[in-house]
Structure 1
Amino acid sequence: MTDQAGTPAVRHVPDRHRDEIRVEAATAGFTAYRDHGRQRVFHHTEVDRAFAGRDLASGLVREALNDVRASGKRVVPVCPYVRKYLATHDEFADIADPVTPEVLRWLDGELKRQGH
């Protein structure tokens, strides 16, 4: 997505473990992840209420998944929104891994360790 006046732009922010969607100068939303080996585990997606109804979450997740594909990683959709998106977008089925108890334990420990 490009950043023109009012046009949403998605950017990968690896030091914050997330992809953000911006509208003009404002961060409208993000999808958060942690990398677990070759897997990118998405655990939370949100869009600010001020930007509700503009289908920003869908565009954000699409761009984030395209980035995952380009990086050679796989997706684990712990986040309910990412899981729902994958259920209706078969074009990403080839890079999706199931959520397992092992991944959930690892993610819980990772988030606690980093104070989330």
Structure 2
Amino acid sequence: MDTDLPARTVRNTPDCNRFEVLVGDEVAGFTEYLDMDRQRIFFHTEIDERFAQQGLAGVLVHAALTETRAEKKRIVPVCPYVAVYLERHDEFTDVTDRVSRKRCGLSRSLANRADSNRSISH
């Protein structure tokens, strides 16, 4: 094991409605969500190109889904990455809801509005 690698951590940043994955002290990526009632709708996941191919998206999404379950919320995977992750990891099936057209449209609308304000460093 290489002990010179920076620590990788995931934190929830509720004020920004996103989970962030950090490498050392630097934000390497995020997955954005919207909480509605008892559901957490994941609508966008992004990893900075400098940190690509390190498995960070999987680490990030796993931690986000685990915390969502612990908060007794249901997962709605509008984000394509989160949807594929859930197809490959059935341990979250019991807390996952299908994406409804209403939820999908709302989440995509929010994602489009957030595009102008979105950045890795936030």
Q: TM-score, normalised by structure 2?
A: 0.85
Q: Which runs of 4+ in 1 moved over 6 A?
A: none
SS, match of residue 97 in structure 2: coil
Contact 2:20–2:60 (Cα < 8 Å) also in 1: yes
Q: Distance in 2 between matches of 1:48 and 1:9?
A: 15
Q: State how 1:33-72 maps to structure 2 within 5 Å.
A: 33-72=33-72
1:19 — aligned with what? 19
Percent of residue pairs identical: 45
Show CA shifts across 1:25-71 (max 9, x none). Answer: 11000000001110000000010010011100000000000000000
Say what the alpha-carbon RMSD is for the aligned residues: 1.8
Greater RCO between the two (CA within 8 Å, min separation 6)?
2
Uncovered stretches (5+) of structure 2, i.e. residues with no partner:
115-122
Number of positions where the alignment pairs a residue of Structure 1 with one of Structure 2: 111
Q: Distance in 1 between matches of 2:33 and 2:96?
A: 14
Shift of 1:105: 3.2
Q: TM-score, normalised by structure 1?
A: 0.89
Structure 2 residue 4 is matched with structure 1 residue 7: no
Uncovered stretches (5+) of structure 1, i.e. residues with no partner:
none
SS, match of residue 53 in structure 1: coil
2:92 — aligned with what? 92
Q: Distance in 2 between matches of 1:92 and 1:104?
A: 20
